[in-house]
Amino acid sequence: MNAEAPHQAPRHVLMTADTVGGVWSHALELAAALGERGVHVSLATMGAMPTPAQRAQAASLPGLELHDGDWRLEWMEDPWDDVRRAGQWLLELERTLQPDVVHLNQFAFGALPFAAPKLVVAHSCVASWWRAVHRQIAPASWDAYRQAVRQGLDGATLVGAPTEAMLSSLALDYGYIKGGLVLPNGRSAEMFAPGDKEPAIFSAGRLWDAAKNLAALQAVAPRLPWPVCVAGSASAPGAAAGRIHAPGVLWLGELSPEEMAAQFARASIYALPARYEPFGLSALEAGLSQCALVLGDVPSLREVWGDAALYVQPEDHQALHAALMRLIDDAPLRQQMAHKALERARHFTTARMADAYMSAYGRLLAPAAGHAGSAGRSRRKTKEAACAS
């Protein structure tokens, strides 16, 4: 039997990211790891212009080229003119940059006629969010979004997701049955490390996002002997900043990566009773910081953490209180669960993440990846040969 030929490695990837969610951290972490493998990344951002702190983060990564826009994202209110203009911008970027691979962290752009092969990664979506949060199908007002997602998935050369649970939801919500790859997220252990643990519970997430279910922590916090600290944004993107109302917990506001790492390091317990979390980067950061984990009992979090966390039904406040009190009262159990979380978190390295993405890119560049990518590269080579003659 002949050995399988090694996959071709890309030299240049055009990647999209938004600046208002966890995909930003994921994209930078991945770009840094790809850069160490000799892959140049052009990062096209949207959702909002990068903040000065985000620009500084991007500038610190050798080989990363930032292209920024403030186009509305496909899940935002009345986004479609912006999505269309963002698509034209991306096509022009591709014509100018001529990347080997286009890596899309949004759905709709998968339907665009890029010359290079396209990887569409499903980090989350409105339909699965709505099912988890509201326990029903998203209303007809989201039909245009559903259509755009399905067209983007159908137009992709390859589809990926950070967990099997998220990948499976694409079939349920959009009838996408072509399958895809599980591409687990990763986080560097250099920034997130255990510190001197204090009797404190920490959580992080958007206060305005019902999926994070931080209201459950607010409900049980007054009955806990330890303080509950919560970090994250209080207003949805584009919404006017209002008065912060987070009774029962100590709201810390939006923190820098260094400040977040300090909170993880000191906290003994990390609580995220999420209704919806396709992977959970904040839980991974907490695990690397050796926090004992109390998580929402949803398939994706069980897939990632196995027996390295305590799980509670998101709507069961009494169960959340009992799980937190169990860890507070039982120091050996707390230490055991913290150690298990650390050991499990160490599996999700940036090296493993980059290896998975390099393998996915290699599949895109293989001759059998699909006629669209092969034809695009053929047209590009013909044009280059004509210019050289």
| Dist CA 251 CA 228 (whole Å) | 9
| Dist CA 351 CA 357 (whole Å) | 10
What is the CB-side half-sphere exposure of residue 70 using CA atoms within 13 A?
6
| Dist CA 165 CA 220 (whole Å) | 29
Q: Return the pLDDT at 256.
A: 87
Q: What single letter denotes the amino acid at residue 335?
A: Q
CATH number attached to the domain at 12-186+350-388 = 3.40.50.2000
| Dist CA 213 CA 219 (whole Å) | 10
Give pLDDT tens digits along the chain (389 positions). 444 445 688 999 999 999 988 899 999 999 999 999 999 999 999 999 999 989 999 999 988 999 999 999 999 999 999 999 999 999 999 999 999 999 999 999 999 999 999 999 999 999 999 999 999 999 999 999 999 999 999 999 999 999 999 999 999 999 999 989 999 999 988 889 899 999 999 999 877 789 999 999 999 999 999 999 999 877 665 555 555 566 678 989 888 889 999 999 999 999 999 999 999 999 999 999 999 999 999 999 999 999 999 999 999 999 999 999 999 999 999 999 999 999 999 999 999 999 999 999 999 998 755 544 443 444 344 333 333 33
- Residue 2's SS3 state is coil
Topology alike, domains 12-186+350-388 and 198-345: yes
Q: Record the pTM.
A: 0.88
The residues spanned by each domain of the chain are 12-186+350-388, 198-345
Nearest to 14 by CA among 34, 4, 22, 29: 34
Cα three-residue angle 92-96-100, rounded to 5 degrees: 100
The helix-helix angle for 126-134 and 164-174 (nearest 10°) equals 90
The tokens for 147 are 């259509």
| Dist CA 136 CA 128 (whole Å) | 10
Q: Domain 198-345, CATH 3.40.50.2000 — does that match?
A: yes
Q: What single letter denotes the amino acid at residue 152?
A: G
Q: Return the pLDDT at 142.
A: 97
Contacts of 358 (CB under 8 A, 6+ apart): 7, 9, 10, 34, 37, 39
| Dist CA 22 CA 18 (whole Å) | 8
